[in-house]
Chain A
Amino acid sequence: MRLAGFYLFALGVALLPILFPDNYFVIVVGASAGLHVILAVGLNLLMGYAGQISLGHAAFFGMGAYASAILTTRFGWPSLLALAAGLLATGALAWLFARPILRLRGHYLAMATLGFGVIVHVILVQATQWTGGPDGLSGIPALNLLGWRVDGDEQWYGVIMAAMLLVVWLTLNLVDSQVGRALRAVHGSEFAAQMMGVDTGRAKTQVFVISALFAAFAGSLFAHQQAFVSPDSFNLTVSVELVTMVVLGGLASTFGAVCGAIALTLLQQGLVVFEDYEMLIHGALLMAVMIFMPQGLFVGLSQAARRVRHRLKRRQPLPST
């Protein structure tokens, strides 16, 4: 079945809080991992499937978060409307930037997206009258979903997980469609894709916008969940972490990105006890994965499983022909 993996994943997400009731770690870290999954799955569409790197993805995350924060606190907009406006603004900006930026390739694209991320971060810090500057914005009202005020860790777990499952489902559908194949073709051979009639400029623009929209969506949820935003949540380190999640799980695999996001979230939580050594262990683990499993954890392990199955099958005597 095409979506068997997805249903299994959804079941796991639903069972977690039932199996571990009143468990702070599962609920809070789970919600955090869910937001990371949305971000990583979106970035993986761009990086893994279309083969275009972005080192400034935290900028779109931040734009969604600040759009919700500013519109609800300073203008008193309803949260759902602010979320929609944030998506619209981020999508429009991504669309404007996509054409000139995606003409670049490789290192040049990496530098351009890096620059974009830095610029947005600087604006968040400097435009004090709007963003509150380095101190950020507090007092963001609760997310109001048509009358239901999302409140408390359990409810947030539910909302974020529902949003995450929606994003994963949309992504799985997209990848396994004509649109997704065109994207993968751009990655496989841009020239051949063009000769098959794929408007590669348009395809890259589309995926850039979708990727930015997912990030902005996660950003809006994050702002309401935390009730507070500050520029530090959207700096270069976050962009690099997002890239790490995608690469760690395995490029061009949606569940790879899911696993990468969950693994890195757990790792960050687990490493908190090591305090100063956190970044050291973080880096060493990354290097180890890159050296021993360059195709990523999820993809590497599933390939290994397939090899073992293949070998077992071969051991059986062949039918005589």
Chain B
Amino acid sequence: MTALSSALLPSPLLAVTGLEQSFGGVMALAGVSFQVAEGLIYAVIGPNGAGKTTLFNALCGFYQPSAGSIRFADQELLGLPPHRIAARGIARTFQNLQLFFNMTVVENVMVGCHLRARTHLLAAALRLPWVQRQEQQLREWAIAALELCELADRAGQPAGSLPYGLMKRVEIARALAAKPRLLLLDEPAAGLNDTETMALRDLIGRIRANGVTVLLVEHHMPLVMGVSDRLLVLDYGSVLAEGAPADIQADPRVVAAYLGGAVNYAV
């Protein structure tokens, strides 16, 4: 019966099993396992140093975990370099801004489209007619991503000239331009004011509506509780709890380790 039902269930988009990552003697990830079904907004929370960003960096190939498995769309990601993982359909933003400050906003986002077109070096240098058409196509894709993030009017500006909140949104647009199946957002609300955070919440909703699964690391509890379908709580590199927001808020272990008291985070 169990075998039958599990066979009928669609396999999860992302299945992480027993992931371990150590730096010297510190176990940053001590056997983390969780699954993310396609179409969900899945949040990872935990105190500072719990291993959230380490988890992200392991998922996208920046670290090489010592044990475990990362299966994405039924294929193993462990051991692949970042650009190959990106090609499988994972895009991300960064906790510390990693914008290309030497480019305009739209050029940043056009780099996001990198995998959706292939320009041969020689053809680009000679600017053959089909390269020009491709440039136009890339620009249209980039503008579409900027429109989704309400940034289209900033397209021509140097990326570094934008206010901080908008720079964070350019990163999201750049990641979306890759047409990912899974989007990793690393603390997208950090440094944003309340209005910007509300706009971010709407944006995350729109991203899901576009069929993109979202994995979210965030400290801003009202945002996390308001937007997520499921939560994973990490503490000292291990999974403390996993479940729906209401269950997590009611979990006494989570409250003790992280939330610091019984608070209702409805927004």
Contact = CB atoms under 8 A, between A and B. Distances in A.
Interface of A: 170-171, 173-174, 177-182, 184-185, 187-189, 191-200, 206, 210, 252
Given A178-B117, A179-B119, A187-B102, A196 B111 contact: yes
Of the candidates B82, B92, B94, the one having the most CB atoms from chain A within 10 angstroms of its own CB is B82
| Chain A contact residues, majority secondary structure | helix
20 contacts: A170-B126, A174-B121, A177-B125, A177-B127, A178-B124, A178-B134, A179-B124, A180-B124, A184-B100, A184-B103, A188-B100, A188-B101, A191-B98, A194-B62, A194-B81, A195-B60, A196-B86, A196-B174, A197-B83, A198-B114
Closest 8 CB pairs of A and B: A188-B100, A177-B124, A192-B98, A197-B115, A194-B82, A197-B86, A178-B119, A189-B98
Contacts of B60: 195
Nearest to A207: B121
Main secondary structure of the interface of B (DSSP, over half): helix
B110 interface: yes
Interface residues of B, number: 37
Contacts of A185: 100, 103, 111
A198 B117 CA distance: 12
A170 B94 CA distance: 34
A177 B98 contact: no
Given A195-B82, A195-B91, 10 more contacts: A174-B125, A177-B124, A177-B135, A178-B119, A179-B121, A185-B103, A193-B111, A194-B81, A196-B174, A197-B83
A288 B86 CA distance: 45
Contacts of A252: 102
A193 B110 CA distance: 11
Contacts of B131: 177
Interface string B139-182: 00000000000000000000000000000000000110010000
Given A189-B100, A196-B174, A199-B83, A182 B114 contact: yes
A178 B61 CA distance: 23
A203 to B, nearest CB: 10
Nearest to A251: B102
A48 to B, nearest CB: 9
Contact of B178 (A170, A179, A191, A196): A196
A178 B83 contact: no
B233 interface: no
Nearest to A200: B83
